[in-house]
Chains A and B, each alone.
Chain A
């Protein structure tokens, strides 16, 4: 039951959505699949005065552009990404990440843009607050932080839990954004502010239009792992996405992007881990060194998981994920 009324307008295009957002005032929001926004409206984390529905806009099929990038419409449903032969062939990590999201129903309803723009989460935040936690926290424009009472009013350690964003960042994806005054394009990493209070850098009247994933060069390999307690349905304990490249001899790592998700206010590049890998011969020693460096990202304890457990779990899975990524890179090198 949504316990308040709001205005609803249907947009026929994203440009129209941007115009509607501008005309509807500061409390208007866009809604694509609604699978993140509507639960947040039920718990009154979000209280938009108006919704601009994007459901009537048909998403274009994923396609390859002149520069060999895959362009994926932001309104593409997650199930369509998971099942797309093009994406499965050219960017299997993205298909795997999309398949890891929530449940089948959510993947059928939710969109790529919506997944990227999902709000950050916290056990104290994501509930109704009608008798528990009645004093609003900072994120609800109140004056406390329940899990981290020492936090200052401008700090919110809620966690950004997209399963897909780490994969896209590892793949060096960019997003294109429609606003009132036209389009702009930026690397996906720059979508995030790093502040759980307002996790995104999008302007008030801006909407993500598409995600552009560059082609993967030869001798590249990926590794992806979503840690969670159950096989499906729930949000991650942590997500690891790795994209790396080997030298001609398939022995040395020349490039690596290691992205950790679902443990901070935004996906985090594990730069020390990348350094431990790049320029080194691949193998157990390098994986161990990278894994040992992963604590640098300083995971937040969340959803009942302690910081030390998250770090331990990341260490184990990063080793495994790197080994997988190297195997794949070698396989792609052999084929090439």
Chain B
């Protein structure tokens, strides 16, 4: 049987991460990924754990402003860094333009890809306020959605970036 817990290795360590503007000090082992720490230790379950293989994009968060897969990020490497999750988008009940656009365009169905999709879209719009269609596709290519066929999601990014797309839902 493979030795799964080597003694003296993998020692726990206290890290501090700023999540959505709040500082958290958490004890982690090197093997703990950021998605585990966010969901299990900090209690922010908005970030979804979809495949653990770095493919589906449901666990996308912003690390120092850049979209990152929290299932392929060791928490220990995030010591002293800033993380934004889906819970950090809305200000109380006031949602951001991209969140509102997802609601207005029917870009949400089952909702499981939505947090990761919103984080990728947020990163895109912060860098590029008027993305073209190829730029939208390139930014969201790492977020799988099985429900919508992506059409409504593209429309939502266009609506949020003020590119002449009106809400289809009231």
Direct contact of A and B (CB under 8 A): yes
* Interface residue ranges, A against B (CB under 8 Å): 1-8, 10, 31, 34-35, 38-39, 42, 44, 47, 49-51, 53, 55-56, 79, 99, 102-106, 108-109, 231-233
List the A side residues contacting B36 at CB < 8 Å.
1
Interface size on B, residues (CB 8 A): 37
Q: Using an 8 Å CB-CB cutoff, how does the interface string of B131-149 with A read, 1 for contact, 0 for none?
A: 0000001111111000000
A261–B74 Cα distance when bound, in Å, is 30
Beyond known contacts A50-B9, A108-B66: 7 more, CB 8 A cutoff: A2-B31, A34-B73, A38-B72, A39-B72, A49-B6, A232-B142, A233-B55
Cβ-closest chain A residue relative to B61: A105
* Interface residue ranges, B against A (CB under 8 Å): 2-6, 9-11, 13, 29-31, 33, 36, 52-55, 57, 60, 66-69, 72-74, 76-77, 120, 137-143
Structural contact, A104 and B120, CB atoms closer than 8 A: yes
List the A side residues contacting B76 at CB < 8 Å.
8, 53
Among A10, A109, A232, point to the contact of B68 (Cβ < 8 A): A109
List the B side residues contacting A79 at CB < 8 Å.
66
Structural contact, A38 and B74, CB atoms closer than 8 A: yes
List the A side residues contacting B53 at CB < 8 Å.
39, 42
A-B contact pairs, 5 of them (CB 8 A): A4-B5, A6-B10, A7-B10, A8-B10, A231-B141
Among B5, B137, B139, point to the contact of A5 (Cβ < 8 A): B5
Structural contact, A104 and B6, CB atoms closer than 8 A: no
Structural contact, B120 and A1, CB atoms closer than 8 A: no
Cβ-closest chain B residue relative to A233: B141
List the B side residues contacting A35 at CB < 8 Å.
54, 69, 72
A7–B68 Cα distance when bound, in Å, is 23
A-B interface, 10 closest residue pairs, ranked by CB to CB distance from nearest = A103-B142, A5-B10, A232-B141, A8-B30, A7-B9, A2-B31, A105-B142, A108-B66, A55-B77, A4-B4
A31–B77 Cα distance when bound, in Å, is 10
Structural contact, B142 and A233, CB atoms closer than 8 A: yes
Closest Cβ–Cβ distance, residue A78 to chain B (whole Å): 12
Structural contact, A103 and B57, CB atoms closer than 8 A: yes
A93–B6 Cα distance when bound, in Å, is 45
User: Are A34 and B72 also in contact (CB < 8 A) when A49-B9, A104-B141, A106-B142 are?
Assistant: yes
Structural contact, B55 and A5, CB atoms closer than 8 A: no
List the A side residues contacting B55 at CB < 8 Å.
103, 233
Structural contact, A104 and B5, CB atoms closer than 8 A: no
Structural contact, A1 and B138, CB atoms closer than 8 A: no
Structural contact, A6 and B141, CB atoms closer than 8 A: no
Structural contact, B33 and A2, CB atoms closer than 8 A: yes
